[in-house]
Amino acid sequence: MMTRKEKTLELRRLIADQLRNLIDRDYVLLGLPYYLNVGDILIWEGEKQFLQTLHHKCLNEGYHYRDNEKIRNNTLIILQGGGNFGDLWRFIQNERLSIIQRYPNNPIIITPVTFWYDNPDLMRQDAEVMSRHPHLTICARDAVSFDLLKNNFNNQIILVPDMAFFIKRSKIMHNVHHHGEGTLFLKRMDKELAANSSLLPKEVMDSADVHDWPSLEKDPLCWLYYRKLWKSGNTLGRYAGLRPLSRMTLKLSDWYFHGYCRKQFIKEGVHFVSRYKNVYTTRLHVGILSILLDKDVTILDNSYGKNATFFNTWLCDTDGVKLWEKQ
């Protein structure tokens, strides 16, 4: 068995080994999670920290990119990954497909994703679109997703751990609550919640605090400010004479989310998880964050097996990290 710290270092090394040579030029980072799921923002943070170890420049510095005409044919495009490759979170996949179709000549890397389709016809349609792109690499973040992508998509497919593992512990420890106590049952409240997710022992359920990410239970104030700026920018853009002001307002909203909201979500997520001694979670990234914080964690599966396949691919030999199976 490996310690959690040893496992984190191993997965960081695997990420670097798989991606370092693929990122061979300046790039843009697109498909970013300008929304409230802290897990996807942790992926973004891990991507940023990994990319900062390279000698190439991020042309959009991690912001929304609004100067699309400046992307040349040789510009590398890196697309945010996550548990959203398929038809469950279709708005994210549609954005991904749109970018792939707009830039047929650019090298594109999709960072690690979990594969899931309920609709096989839609999967075939997506595979056809992606197969037409000659320079597309898709990173699978678990062995099952890797096999499904290999069998159904005619692109370069590689197996890479989740990018959140590239977050340095030293970067988040100043947000840690140093007296972790009690039990957290992180119960997601969306369509990925498995039907049997509450079948924990009675003694756990009786003593646990049951929450989702705090940002999903109550809109943070910074999010409300960001949305106000973003909506104002879009409203101004409807009037020809105000479009320069619209562009400035939208750039300000991007700067505010990237420079403040994103960091605040990570800070509050770390503080939230670190308050507890024992963690049970239906969200994969609460599990990953617990490992980064060197906490014991029990991971419950989601509705379609994402958490179990990730655990079985990367974490089954890690001390203090368990997959919950009904007793």
Given a contact cutoff of 8 angstroms between Cβ atoms, the answer to whether 163 and 81 are in contact is yes
Q: Reply yes or no on whether the pLDDT at 227 is more than 80.
A: yes
Given a contact cutoff of 8 angstroms between Cβ atoms, the answer to whether 47 and 78 are in contact is yes
pTM score, whole prediction: 0.95
Tens of pLDDT, residues 103-157? 999 999 999 999 999 999 999 999 999 999 999 999 999 999 999 999 999 999 9
Tokens found for residue 172: 């988040």
| Three-state SS at 185 | strand
Alpha helix ranges (H) inside 133-279? 143-152, 169-172, 202-207, 214-217, 221-236, 243-256, 262-274
Tens of pLDDT, residues 24-55? 999 999 999 999 999 999 999 999 999 999 99
Count of CB atoms situated within 10 Å of the CB of 40? 23
Residues pairing with 208 in the sheet:
183
Q: Residue 214 and residue 259: Cα distance in Å, rounded?
A: 20
Tokens found for residue 161: 């751990």
Nearest to 143 by CA among 155, 151, 133, 135: 151
Torsion sign, CA atoms 65, 66, 70, 73 = positive
Geometric angle at alpha carbon 268, from 264 and 272, rounded to 5°: 170
What is the reported pLDDT for 20?
Answer: 95
